[in-house]
Structure 1
Amino acid sequence: MVALNLRRGLVLAFLVLVADQASKWWILQVLDLPTRRNVPLLGGGDFGLDLTMVWNRGVTFGLLSGSEPWHAWALAAMAAAIAAFLVRWMAKAENRRTALALGAIVGGAVGNVIDRARFGAVVDFVDAYAWGWHWYVFNVADAAIVLGVVVLLFEAVTAREAPQEAL
């Protein structure tokens, strides 16, 4: 069962990675969002969803950002190390939900590592807003990471203790 969970997690990681990189290719090459800067998608006025080009040189919310070339490599190395740790955890996952959550996080992390290696920054482009408040601009990899973490937190909160063996 553990090997099956590892396989499931790795397949989801691969699918997230492909979706992430395909969406970024489309944003950069087809839509040419760096030139257009902003494309309204849904809504407008008080709430909506736009495509907005952001080169994120940091991590979530732009934290730890820096412009030195070594900075992108340091963040990429840190993300790769975390992804390797998560794959080890995935190999020991006892249920499908945990393995899939870890797969989503790994696929997203690897997608953002590829961006840092290619561009020195992560390609972010989804801008959601409501009543004058904008969420941070994100991408498919970021969404997969957040959803994976939410599932892991749910698993931790709802976990049941293993039955104790009688002595």
Structure 2
Amino acid sequence: MAGGKGAASVWPWLGIALVVILLDQFTKTLILGYYTPGQGTPVTSFFNIVRVHNTGAAFSFLAGASGWQRWFFIGLGLAAAAFIVFMLRRHGHQRLFAWALALILGGALGNVIDRALHGYVVDFLDFHWGGRHFPAFNIADSAITVGAALLILDELLRVRRSR
């Protein structure tokens, strides 16, 4: 791209994605080292740390499938990562949009690493209230969620500016 807003501007965003990946993998390594599957520790009246293996996607979607979903989600995550890097190369100068993409990229690759290494994603953050548990999640999932919220905010601000 012309004007200096091309490939060079992608590096800070890839650095942010790398920090997300490292934090995600570090926390998952701790969980794998200190907890057995299903084991948990109450932290507060509404939060536990628990080791859960998710072979599916968000909210355990397709977790009961026969195993093909592992490769499907690895492929999907890698395709999404390639698209996000492409978008970062083109729009790295748009700070809020690029932050969102960097967080989503780091989260997606964090979960792809789990699927490739273990065949499942390691989840461990367990929030509950009144006997109901939100599905356990991890740092990668959190980064994806914050990134998605930032994408929505970016679009709302873009629409507002165009009025």
Calculate the TM-score normalised by the size of structure 1: 0.86
Which residue is equivalent to 1:40? 42
Q: Which runs of 5+ in 1 are unaligned?
A: 163-167
Amino acid in the other structure paired with 2:15: V
Corresponding residue number in structure 1 for 2:77:
79
Q: Shift of residue 36 of structure 1?
A: 6.6
> What amino acid does structure 2 have at the position aligned with 1:127?
D
For this pair of structures, how many residues does the alignment match?
A: 156
Change (3 A) 1:72 1:66: farther
What is the CA-CA distance between 1:65 and the residue it aligns to? 2.2
Kindly indicate whether the alpha-carbon contact (under 8 Å) linking 2:54 and 2:120 is maintained by their aligned counterparts in 1. Answer: yes
Q: 1:116-159, CA deviations, whole angstroms, 9 ceiling, x for partnerless residues?
A: 01111100010011222321100000000000000001101110
CA contact (8 A) 1:8 1:100 kept: no
Q: 2:50 aligns to what SS in structure 1?
A: strand
Instruction: Kindly indicate whether the alpha-carbon contact (under 8 Å) linking 2:37 and 2:53 is maintained by their aligned counterparts in 1.
Output: no
Does structure 1 conserve the Cα–Cα contact (< 8 Å) formed by 2:70 and 2:119? yes
**Deviations 1:55-76 (Å, cap 9, x if unpaired)?**
1111110112244333201111
SS of 2:43 mapped into structure 1: strand
Distance 1:35 1:136 in 2: 15
Q: Say whether 1:60 aligns with 2:58.
A: yes
In structure 2, the residue matched to 1:121 is 120
Q: Does 1:137 align with 2:141?
A: no
How far off is 1:9 after superposition? 1.3
* Mapped contact 1:54–1:124 kept (Cα < 8 A): yes
Q: 2:162: which partner in 1?
A: 161
| SS of alignment partner, residue 53 of structure 2 | strand
Query: Does the C-alpha gap of structure 1 residues 158 and 35 become closer, same or farther in structure 2, counting only changes over 3 Å?
Result: closer
Match of 1:150 in 2: 149
Alpha-carbon distance between aligned partners in 2 of 1:157 and 1:35, rounded to the nearest angstrom: 41
Q: 1:27 aligns with which of 31, 37, 40?
A: 31
TM norm structure 2: 0.88
Paired residue secondary structure (2:56): coil
RMSD over aligned CA atoms reads 1.8
- Is the Cα–Cα contact under 8 Å of residues 37 and 52 in structure 2 kept in the other structure? no
Report the AA paired with residue 81 of structure 2. A
Letter of the 2:143 counterpart:
A
The answer to whether the Cα contact below 8 Å between 1:56 and 1:62 also exists between their aligned partners in 2 is: yes
| Distance change >3 Å, CA 135–CA 39, structure 1 → 2 | same
- Which 5+ residue runs of structure 2 have no aligned equivalent? none
Residue 165 of structure 1 aligns with which residue?
none
